[in-house]
Structure 1
Amino acid sequence: MLKTNRRQFVQTTALAAAALSVAPQVLGAARKKLPIALQLYSVRQDCAKDFDAALERVAKMGFEGVEFAGYHNYGGKAKELRKRLDDLGLKVAATHIGTGSFRGENLQKTIEFHQVLGCKFLIVPGDGDFTNPDKCKALADLFNETAAKLKPLNMYCGYHNHTAEFKKFGETTFWDFFATNTSKDVVLQQDCGWTAAAKLDPVAMMKKYPGRMKSTHFKPTVVGNEPGKKAFIGQDSVDWKAVIAACIEFGGTEWITLEQEAYPDGKSPMEATEISFKALKEMVG
């Protein structure tokens, strides 16, 4: 009996040690819960009408953060905006700004404003040079230079895709060209909805560029004319649970950002946003 118990003990101990040696990252990923922010472009009409009221409603829905697409009555008033966000319990997940914010003296102003807000991700949601064969390399160089200046401040610049970025460029695509010609410190803010709309796999994209999707967009998207599908998270064409797992395992994602651009069933932007948010929150756990 003693020999059998000893053998079982040794086997069990060996298996446990092996599991601990290979599984910490997997176990950590399984336990990780990503915070959810709202890209305020989703409710842009509400923001234009009464920005403070819109922020308050977003906070009451349960969002942990917001991603800006303009600052409305808080333009140039970073301290006031930060206080408003703090009062509502909202953090700044990221901001969408133009490439011009990185050029010349504008960069220092951009840094100072967003440092006050506690915003570390400065994302460009579109630039015509990205898909211009004669200018795309210079644009990539600008992002590299900006990323190097931001890194000591624990800040990042990045680019947000739509579908045009996946157009062919020689033997590659403009998206892949930008990714391979920029450093790992340049964020690739994948909009998974647009990726799916381009008939590409968001999960495969994360695997291809691991650690570079620190901020990731979840846009409910119906690909084609799939019967019964609606542009709400959980009712659309995208396997969001698989995307969430990929964000944790491959993407290096720090923020999931919901962007609701369609409003099915006659729902208002706020109503549609809340439907998708509730479904997404349940998936995230």
Structure 2
Amino acid sequence: MAYPIAYQLYSSRNFPPLAAQFPILKQMGYDAIEPWLPAYEADPALFRRQLDDAGLACYGFHMPLSGLVDEPERFIDIALTLGATLMIPPYIPVEERETTSAFWQRLGEKLARGAQKAQPHDLKVAWHNHDFEYLALPDGSRPIDHILETGGDTVWFEIDCGWITRAGADPAAELTRYGDRIAAIQTKDTAPPGTAADDGWTATGDGIIDWETLVPLFKQTAADHIVAEHDNPSDWQRFAGRSIEKLRALGL
């Protein structure tokens, strides 16, 4: 199965103007952009026109959790303007995190309430992980399990294989465990521990993750697209080009 492949625009945030990147990404073979706030916030309609002009889609976009909780209608309108179907809160700042199960269960409940508001518009809500969701709480449980179990079936999951690996967890196990909840798969790769260049991140296939083992598991999930991301590349075009080349070589 050949998946549509999106490019997480956060990867090249340090190389403006962003719209100038779109034709380059299209030429490389990308099908879509996954933007993050604030890339689309100033003028979502203009952002959509720039994507259309480049022949790119937007399947999902990253947004603040506070936007889903406090301004759901605004972000639903943004989703509809961008043509996205997936609304993705990706992060809780460290100063706002708590180490109790109840805190992460409340997060799941917030996502479920947002999903309920999005559903009539044919939109889905998905959580995107970093490493902290895989670090055990004092009671031995994991935040990711509380988020998804309390959120229920209307809360989807954009799984980031790189951050799971950084947390010392096994992306293969997580792909299997939550396969029917996974809406999108981020193929972020990480260099060996101790690597300083590019904050230790690397192009897909250039790091320590065994993608050949993971790809068969991708096909057992509910994911309908793949997302390439690198948190801080010194050369965004090299990252983008090598990543999509690797993903297509893997049959994705």
Q: Which moved more, 1:108-117 or 1:152-161?
A: 152-161
Is the 2:7–2:30 Cα contact (8 Å) retained in structure 1? Answer: yes
Q: Does 1:278 align with 2:249?
A: no
Shift of 1:144: 0.9
Q: Deviations over 1:62-111 (max 9, x none)?
A: 11001001354x5342332222211211010211110111124x111110
Q: Does 1:43 align with 2:9?
A: no
Q: Does 1:108 align with 2:77?
A: no
Is the 1:197–1:223 Cα contact (8 Å) retained in structure 2? Answer: no
SS state at 1:171 partner: coil
- CA change 1:230–1:80 in 2 (3 A) is closer
- CA change 1:271–1:78 in 2 (3 A) is same
- CA change 1:130–1:283 in 2 (3 A) is farther
CA distance in 2, matches of 1:111, 1:164: 27
Q: Does 1:79 align with 2:49?
A: no
Shift of 1:130: 5.6
Matches within 5 A, 1:120-269: 120-128=85-93, 131-133=98-100, 135-169=103-137, 170-224=139-193, 231-249=202-220, 251-263=221-233, 268-269=235-236
CA distance in 2, matches of 1:241, 1:36: 17
Matches within 5 A, 1:23-102: 32-46=1-15, 49-72=16-39, 74-102=40-68
- CA change 1:84–1:232 in 2 (3 A) is closer
> What is the root-mean-square deviation in Å for CA atoms of aligned residues?
2.2
CA distance in 2, matches of 1:81, 1:148: 26
CA distance in 2, matches of 1:282, 1:245: 14
Structure with higher Rg: it is 1
TM-score (norm 1): 0.79
Q: How many residues align?
A: 244
Gapped regions of structure 2 (runs ≥ 5): none
CA distance in 2, matches of 1:53, 1:172: 44
**2:84 aligns to what?**
119
- CA change 1:230–1:166 in 2 (3 A) is closer
Is the 1:82–1:116 Cα contact (8 Å) retained in structure 2? Answer: yes
Shift of 1:210: 2.3
Is the 1:147–1:185 Cα contact (8 Å) retained in structure 2? Answer: yes
Query: Larger RCO: Structure 1 or Structure 2 (Cα < 8 Å, ≥ 6 residues apart)?
Result: 2
Give 1:148's aligned amino acid: Q
Q: Deviations over 1:40-81 (max 9, x none)?
A: 1111112xx212212222222211001001354x53423322
Shift of 1:219: 0.6
CA distance in 2, matches of 1:90, 1:223: 33
CA distance in 2, matches of 1:51, 1:218: 21
- CA change 1:173–1:268 in 2 (3 A) is same
Give 1:120's aligned amino acid: T
Is the 2:68–2:114 Cα contact (8 Å) retained in structure 1? Answer: yes
Is the 1:69–1:95 Cα contact (8 Å) retained in structure 2? Answer: yes
CA distance in 2, matches of 1:274, 1:122: 26
Is the 1:76–1:113 Cα contact (8 Å) retained in structure 2? Answer: no
CA distance in 1, matches of 2:97, 2:120: 26
- CA change 1:130–1:191 in 2 (3 A) is farther
- CA change 1:78–1:172 in 2 (3 A) is same
Shift of 1:223: 4.0
CA distance in 2, matches of 1:176, 1:223: 27
Query: What percentage of residue pairs aligned between the two structures are identical?
Result: 22
